[in-house]
Amino acid sequence: MKYDLIIIGGGPAGYLAAERASKGGLKTLLIEERYLGGVCLNEGCIPTKTLLYSAKILEGAKHGFKYGIEVRNITLNHKKVLERKDNVIKTLVTGIKSKLRKSGAEILSGHGEILGRSSKGYIVAVGDKEFAADRLLIATGSSPYVPPVEGVKEGLERGFVLTNREILEIESVPASMVVIGGGIVGLEMASYFNSAGSKVTVIEMLDHIGGNMDREISNILLETYKKKGIEFELSAKVTKIGDQKVMYEKDGKFFEKEAEKVLLSVGRKPNITGFGLENIGVEVEKGYVKTDERMKTNVQEVYAAGDVNGKLMLAHTAYREAEVAVWNMLGRKVKVNYNSIPCIVYTNPEVAWVGESEESVQEKALEYEVVKLPMLYSGRFVAENEEFDGLCKILIDRKKRTILGCHMIGNYSSEIIYGVGVMIEMQLRVEDIKDIVFPHPTVSEIIREVIFEL
C-alpha cells in the first residue's frame, strides 16, 4: 500500500496529475469521493457548454431567415437537451477512466483523509484502509458559496433556490428566473435560460457584469443581453429570499422580484475541511491552501492544485497547475504564469480575454497603448454573423512592444484567445507577430488586423 504519490480529488487537477505522474514513473493513487471529472466535467464546464450549444442552435434556427434559411415551429425540448448532456458526460468520464488505466494510475472511490506522517511517509485513510506515500497532491476542488442571506438556506431546502449543481438537473424551463451574481457562471446560465424562454433577471452587487472582464467589453455584453430581454439590476444587494420572490436593495431603496426559480451564483469556496490538512500542518490563508508558483505548500513534498488554492478557479488553470506540480516532483523547475491563462464566457456572443485589462494596467500604472477594431474586419466573421459587430481590443506595452492583454467579444473568440496567450507567454514583440501567417478566411485574422494598426 506504499505509493510515490497520493492525489486527493479526481477533478481536472487530480486526474490530469495522476496521468502525468504515472507516465513519469511515479506509482500513483488517485482518490475521488464523488465522481471522476469533478465539478468541471459533471456539473460545470462540460454540461453548461452542452446546454449553451443547444441554445446557440436554437438562436440560429430562429434567425435563420437572415441567412436564407426559413424554419417554422421552432421549439426547444429541454428534456432532450438534458439527455444529451448526460450522454456527453458519460462519454467523457469513460474516456478519462480509460486514459488513467492506460497510464498505470490506480483509482480508488472514497473519502480520503490525511492522518499524519510516519516513517512510511504520509498516511491517508479511505474508510478502514490506510495508504502511504512519499508525496501528496491536494486537489479537493471547491463548492458553491452560500451567502449568509436570510431565507437562502430554506430556499435551497425547498428547491426554490438552486446552485450550479441543481440547475443542470432542472426538468423544465421556468417561466421566470432570478440569477444572483453576474459572473461567468451566472451569465452563462442567464444566456441559456433566456434563449430557452425564461424571463431572466440578473442581480449583481458590482456596477458591472463579468467580474474582472475589461469594462468596455463588459458594457458591450451588457447592452447585447438587454436587447435579448435579460434584465439587470446592478449595484444591488440581495437582502432576503422569500416565498417565490427575491428582495434586494439598490440606491438606498428596497425592491422585490418574483420568480419561479432562483440561481445562486456568487462564487465558490475551496473544499479544505474534512481532509486532515491540519494533521500535517498545511497552511491555509483566507480559506485557501497556500501554495507558491510551483504549487508547493509549506509542508515538504505536499502540493496543491486547482480550485483549492484559490489562485484562478478555472479548469484549464487546474490542468496547468497539476502539470507544474508533477514536473516539480520529477525534478523540473517550472512555474505557472497566470498572466498568460485565458478566461472565457461561453455566452452568445462569446467573450474571451487574456492578460491585463485596461483597468488593471491603469491600476498598476503601466505605460501602454490600446488598439482595437470591430470583428467586422474579419471576412469570415462578416460572412457568418448578422447584426453584431463584436470587438477585438489589444493592450501593448509601450516600451517593450509586447502584448499586455487582449479582449474579444464575438463568436469564435474562445477558440482564438489561446494564440494571444502564447504570444504573451513567449513575450513576442509586435514586429514578431506581424510575421505570423494567419489562415484566411478565419476569424483569427482579427488579431493580425489589430496588430497592423500599430
DSSP-assigned letters across all residues of 323-359: HHHHHHHTT------GGG--EEE-SSS-EEEEE--HH
Retrieve residue 167's grid coordinates: 440547475
| Cβ atoms < 10 Å from Cβ of 109 | 14
Report whether 309 contacts 290 (CB < 8 A).
Answer: yes
Active-site residue set: 440
What three-state secondary structure class fits 368? strand
Retrieve residue 118's grid coordinates: 510516519
- pLDDT score, position 411: 93
Distance CA 52, CA 347 (A): 7
- pLDDT score, position 66: 93
CA distances from 345 to 178, 218, 257, 342, 454 (A): 19, 11, 26, 10, 28
Report whether 151 contacts 162 (CB < 8 A).
Answer: no
Retrieve residue 419's grid coordinates: 494564440
Give, for 109, the enclosing helix (H) or strand (E): strand 106-109
Report whether 306 contacts 139 (CB < 8 A).
Answer: yes
Name which of 351, 31, 342 is nearest 220 in CA terms: 351
Q: Using CA of residue 221, residue 144, residue 33, residue 16, what is the dihedral sign?
A: positive
Residue type, position 378, single letter: S
Distance CA 439, CA 441 (A): 6
Q: What does the radius of gyration of the chain's CA atoms come to, in whole angstroms?
A: 23
Hunting for cell 485565458 — which residue is that?
Answer: 342
Task: Look up residue 208 and give its DSSP letter.
Answer: S
Query: Can you list the residues of the chain whose pLDDT is less than 70?
Result: none
> Going by C-beta distance under 8 Å and a sequence separation of 6 or more, which residues neighbour residue 210?
182, 183, 184, 187, 217, 218, 221, 345, 351
Distance CA 255, CA 263 (A): 18
> Going by C-beta distance under 8 Å and a sequence separation of 6 or more, which residues neighbour residue 77?
none
- pLDDT score, position 170: 94
Distance CA 278, CA 414 (A): 40
Retrieve residue 421's grid coordinates: 496567450
- pLDDT score, position 387: 79
- pLDDT score, position 372: 97
pTM of the model: 0.94
